[in-house]
Chains A and B, each alone.
Chain A
Amino acid sequence: MEMILDFISNTGFAMADYRHVIMILVGCLFIYLGIARHYEPLLLIPIGFGILMGNVPVFKGLGLGIYEKGSVLNYLYFGVRQGIYPPLIFLGIGAMTDFSYMLAQPKLMLLGAAAQLGIFTTFLCALMLGFAPNEAASIGIIGGADGPTAIFLSAKLAPELVGPIAIAAYSYMALVPVIQPPIMKLLTTREERLIRMKDPRPVSKRERIVFPVVGFLLCCFLAPAALPLLGMLFFGNLLKECMVADRLAHTARTAIIDAVTILLGITVGASTQADVFLTKKSIGIFFLGAASFMIATAGGILFAKLMNLVSKEKINPLLGAAGVSAVPDSARVVQLIGNREDPNNYLLMHAMAPNIAGVIGSAVAAGVLWSFMM
């Protein structure tokens, strides 16, 4: 009888408290959103299941928890702590991405820069709320709407906040279709939303091959701390465009990115153990992350309007919202909103230009913040 009681007291049911229940519900919500609503399923399902794995109560000292040295999860978490997974994801993104939309309309790259306003504004807000500079920088990067970049920077600057920051970043990325449309409608008039863009010019193969080399050298000479992310992004793209390393490009955009996404999702999810995650700081991070995302969206739209004041060729200001680097969701939202006003207005390919520029911009911003905090 005593053995049975001992066994019962060692089960998760006996050790669980309300915090575990909350986190397990959050995990279930992520899995539901991924499967039923198709919100970033490739990310939300691994993260959601990781949350479940991280919040099953276990005895400390048995080497089971993610924060316990020598545990399997702790070994897998090494890739997050040391910032190994995000550059590998960037390699895959580079091998998947077609930069030609951006190369055809280089001026739209400025919208990708303007949307990074959210990062720095939130950085200031976080400082005002009493966060340490390292933490503030990690929170600010949520506004870049780029999960790997947010994880990379927070692993370097505030490792204890990786869990909440990653969850906030991926949650808001998944909620792009909910967060962005009201801001887009608020800041634009119907006439502006009806603006049609000129067809982009064809981009030669030579331009597409030269771009990753020139882009990498230029960005990394200006912001050397962005080297791990941008180096892999541009390298992946060169593999794709050069046509002679197709096997490598194929591996980067399938096997590597898939394997790393699974490991990243599971470990980031598991790092949200209730006792570490459910704190006042996490609430602050979620609040600031949302603000950062909204400011980034507004920044892009307002800058597009500003460009219209000085440029002869009008830009549809909705494209500014795609400057946040949630690829390709924010570009899809732009297309959706533009289409509601005019079913024959196709903005998707134009929106991909600021969208991809946003990826580069947020990586540069992360590099800049990292170099300032070192």
Chain B
Amino acid sequence: MYGLKAITAAQGWTIAFLGIAVVFSTLAFLAFIMAHLTWLFDMVERIPRFFSSKRDKVLTPKSMPPRTQPHESEKKVQVMLTEDEKEAYRFFELLTGKLGEPFSLQEVLERAEELGLRRPHYGLYQLLKKGLIKECEGECLGFYCWSRNVEVVEEIRNRSKKDR
């Protein structure tokens, strides 16, 4: 048998149509999955982060150091920061404001890296070294918060005072 009759007799049209459809749908589906794989990985990574942030929020009201105004008699320690450190200080202040106190250093670092802060480890280390960030005590041991009795002083202002 020859010609279109041969195709019809062998169910050629159906086979060809279904064949193309299966090949296309397989590769299209595979392409779709692969295109969303990074998104899927992000989601998987966010699940533990989501739970840890929830845990932090639960801990906050009970164990966070009270955000009361320091007593007038409480002496504030003044620290001077370089331009880079000041930038890191502002960045981490905003970031931890969103995350809430007390915060996990690891989480803060990860978020800072994600947000593209330059040398986040160094910046955070400087803030810890200068006492701006300190480790919590009691139930929140292992988490960190901002020191209430440390004040950041503008370097330029100090210089001008000296000049005078």
Cβ proximity bits A92-135 to B, threshold 8 Å, 1 near / 0 not: 00000000001100110110111011011101100111100100
Instruction: Out of A116, A214, A368, name the residue touching B18 (CB < 8 Å).
Output: A368
Cβ proximity bits B18-30 to A, threshold 8 Å, 1 near / 0 not: 1110111111111
Instruction: Out of A113, A119, A121, name the residue touching B27 (CB < 8 Å).
Output: A113
Interface: A222 (CB within 8 A) = yes
* B31 pairs with A110, CB closer than 8 A: yes
Most buried by A among B29, B30, B38: B30
Most buried by A among B12, B25, B32, B41: B12
**Chain B residue contacts of A223, Cβ below 8 A:** 22, 26
* A113 pairs with B10, CB closer than 8 A: no
* B31 pairs with A106, CB closer than 8 A: yes
Interface: B15 (CB within 8 A) = yes
Cβ proximity bits B75-108 to A, threshold 8 Å, 1 near / 0 not: 0000000000000000000000000000000000
Most buried by A among B23, B24, B27, B33: B23
Expressed in whole angstroms, the Cα–Cα distance for A372 and B14 within the complex equals: 10
Expressed in whole angstroms, the Cα–Cα distance for A207 and B34 within the complex equals: 8
In chain B, what residue has the closest Cβ to A104? B34
Interface of B is mostly: helix
- What total of A-B pairs shows CB separation below 8 Å? 112
How far is the CB of B158 from the nearest CB of chain A, in Å?
Answer: 46
Instruction: Out of A107, A124, A133, name the residue touching B31 (CB < 8 Å).
Output: A107
Interface positions of A (Cβ within 8 A of B)? 102-103, 106-107, 109-110, 112-114, 116-117, 119-121, 123-124, 127-130, 133, 136-137, 204, 206-207, 210-211, 214-215, 218-219, 222-223, 357, 360-361, 364-365, 368-369, 372
